[in-house]
Structure 1
């Protein structure tokens, strides 16, 4: 959904802030071919664009790790009628049915096509998180009735099959998996399963008051089970609200500081690195949460805090210098300056819209005495208004609409420089149109009432 050239603008900033790699979950933006071509979004990247992304990342010393979901969160695949028969549960496109040979063949083909455009990589993330409804499909229920079978075995069998495929065909590439499906499995079972020789788990937690001691114990558990290496994952945006429009920097900073404490206390020789996730949606069907430009100040704060071991006044000054901001507030959405970083115009305009659009319109519609007293819903329905009151309502409403239309047009132009049209349309429709339409409806009703008096 992000135009490729914006990546080229932000890669130098990412590198300067301390990042040395990028985990990319392409989902439907990857240019799948052949029978998988229907997975492509309307504005999916072309193979040449993927190659240019990789080239630009390499120029700025950013190692790419592709992520392809292979078990859970497969909505972008299983939503299509052609693949719906591979769902674990017929009604839900969340999880893949692990019992069908065609399921593994599908995953193998997806991995093969992504690998072909990512030659020379060292890691490949195969997802495997939040495999909702696993075990609830009819084939799973029958399989689980057999005495030697259980849910843990069901999960690990699919995970091992996918990881083995990666290692057989790409012996120099190590598979990574999200760890949530592994956490509750006993040390004995994990050890005996052999999964530790196939994958590197990525422990994720995005809350600000994270249990540091619990995470250290979890790392130690994985060490005892034979995993030689692991990763951890924080967040710099997303994770705080499914339709969140502004990033709560303080929340994400606290989360990353907690992960620093985990890294200081856990088995250091195991830790490969920390991934700062930046959610764009909670799942394939949910609305957009914070746009990437809106989350860049949070990313800058979190990266620099990790690099320097904390967030001090000196680190704050460094971040402000990189962002071109005079005063960055981490516990307040509003900042005195919008900055000069790539996408800073979007950051500034989204902040303005999120803080003031709905409030200003509600102020007019619900707290203006002339509107609430002389042009209520009762009056509007019957096209009634005291002629004197028109002069107290109409100019203010027209002025407010004119001002916000100008801001929204400016925001739309800024968004179109970064995002493809479908993302621009979705964000504006979700975050601006409902409020603007209420204001437009007021003016239409006012015109109708005036006409009725003529």
Structure 2
């Protein structure tokens, strides 16, 4: 490993607000993360944290138990991965504010993402969340308090009145809440430094911030800055396969930023891997599907570039012949944890929908003799059944087999609700179209009524 690595800390982001992995799967991937060059984890628990007391209702159905969180921390230590917990405290509060018990703390009634910073109960809620998380993460050096994408801030009725006062501004409203949260961390948990996403700070005037972006933050007192890149989850809300080349280029640009500034200005980099764009959106790329991208990005950071020898190292780590989107079956598609999921998801994402579309929309027997008009009336030339049905049955059998293999693979890494959601979003629509065709064929193949003089009974008088 290079001794002149510009990012001393390289944290892999685990976004648990969608497709949270089972602890058993984390035990497999943590050693790989370490081998690839990661030395930390940013764990965004959201509703997977085992909150207690009045916060217990925040728990998801399959939330980790306290003992499982302890086990995750133990596994991280074994792989020399420093854990930084993340708790949302301002924006992205949907998992809290969606509940009726806390809905009155929304900044805007119809938008459960943003917390109302004027309510004393809001800060009390956030403090309780922080204290419970740090109780299970004693001794951590950093706590990430989120604060990104605080949309609609200032649009609540209380905020509108507050902003009418001359000395008040959106910047002051934002900073005052961040400061209150950070102050609680520093006062009640000495030794733990709060981290915050910077997007809400970028447009704040320098004289107001005091708390060219790096230069601006340094002049305002932020001597230790972190970068945030992405290895997945950043190119489409319903993306299923990460564009590896895109993420590699992103990290190459971050390297250029790091080497162009003062030495050690950027203390670390967080390789984000968003699993949903927000609590209510669909799943994007699953963690096992993003591992080749993560591997490439980590090795790029460690070696200061992505030359051919680095690419070969990554392929060796993963047990793959190429880092390009692997259009392969599950056999021989890699040796990394979840490589079977990666291979099967790739097959389904690239070919399921297109193969069904080809049959239904470009097969000349279907388009010519079993069009939507014919299907609604269950009418077909008898000979055409033998031209359509075998191909449709073969396609259904092939995809049903692959989907069953994927379901078995997913069960080793994820909980049932994740599997149900991914299959329903990405598999079911195409499979239903295929099954619908076969059902209509079966009904059309039933004994025909006596023919009318016009050939088809259109329901119209001659």
Task: Tell me which interval the TM-score lies in, with the shorter structure as reference length.
Answer: over 0.9
Deviations, residues 320-378 of structure 1 (Å, cap 9, x unaligned): 1110112222xx45369521000000000000001111111111111111111011111
Aligned match of 1:177: 196
Q: Where do 1:241-260 residues align within 5 Å?
A: 241-260=236-255
SS, match of residue 434 in structure 2? helix
Q: By how many angstroms is 1:310 displaced?
A: 0.5
Q: Could you tell me how far apart the structure 2 residues matched to 1:134 and 1:387 are?
A: 65
Structure with bigger gyration radius: 2
TM-score, with structure 1 as normaliser: 0.93
Q: With CA pairs under 8 Å and 6+ residues apart, which has the higher RCO, 1 or 2?
A: 2
Does residue 1:29 correspond to 2:24, yes or no?
no
Residue 148 of structure 1, CA deviation = 1.3
Write the distance in 2 (CA, Å) between the matches of 1:327 and 1:32: 43
Q: CA deviation at 1:76?
A: 0.6
1:304-328 deviation line (CA, Å, top 9, x unaligned): 0011011011001110111011222
- Residues 18-37 of structure 1: CA distance to partner in whole angstroms, max 9, x if unpaired? 00000010000000111101
In the alignment, the residues of structure 2 paired with residue 187 and residue 377 of structure 1 have an alpha-carbon distance, to the nearest angstrom, of 63
Cα separation, 1, equivalents of 2:363 and 2:226: 55
**Which structure has the highest helix share of the two?**
1
User: What is the DSSP-based 3-state SS (H/G/I as helix, E as strand, rest coil) of the residue aligned with 1:250?
Assistant: helix
Corresponding residue to 1:219 among 207, 210, 214: 214
Once the two structures are superposed, the pairs formed by residues 19-418 of structure 1 within 5 Å of their partners are 19-191=38-210, 196=211, 217-329=212-324, 332=325, 334=327, 338-418=333-413
Deviation at 1:225, TM superposition (A): 1.0
Q: Where do 4+ consecutive residues of structure 1 move more than 2 Å?
A: 267-270, 332-337
TM-score, normalising length from structure 2? 0.91
Query: Is the Cα contact below 8 Å between 1:2 and 1:420 reproduced in 2?
Result: yes
Note closer, same or farther for the CA distance 1:333–1:251 as it changes in structure 2 (3 Å cut): farther
Answer yes or no: is the 8 Å Cα contact 2:327–2:343 preserved in 1: no
2:430 to 432, 435, 451: 435
Q: Please give the alpha-carbon distance, in whole angstroms, between the structure 2 residues aligned to 1:325 and 1:383.
A: 48
TM-fit CA distance, 1:124: 0.1
Counterparts of 2:328 and 2:198 in 1: how far apart (Å)?
Answer: 37
Name 1:212's counterpart in structure 2. Answer: none
Q: Report Cα offsets for 1:36-56 as digits up to 9, x if no partner.
A: 011000000000000000001
Contact 1:86 1:97 (8 Å CA) reproduced: yes
User: For residues 237 and 10 of structure 1, what CA distance do their matches in structure 2 show?
Assistant: 16
Deviation at 1:189, TM superposition (A): 1.3
Q: Distance in 2 between matches of 1:362 and 1:226?
A: 57
Q: Kindly state the Cα deviation for residue 17 of structure 1 after the two structures are TM-superposed.
A: 0.3
Gapped runs of 5+ residues in structure 1? 197-216
Q: 1: CA distance between counterparts of 2:383 and 2:215?
A: 76
Q: Offset at 1:452? A: 4.4
Contact 1:383 1:452 survives alignment (8 Å): no
CA contact (8 A) 2:410 2:419 kept: yes
Structure 2's unaligned 5+ residue stretches are 1-19, 450-462
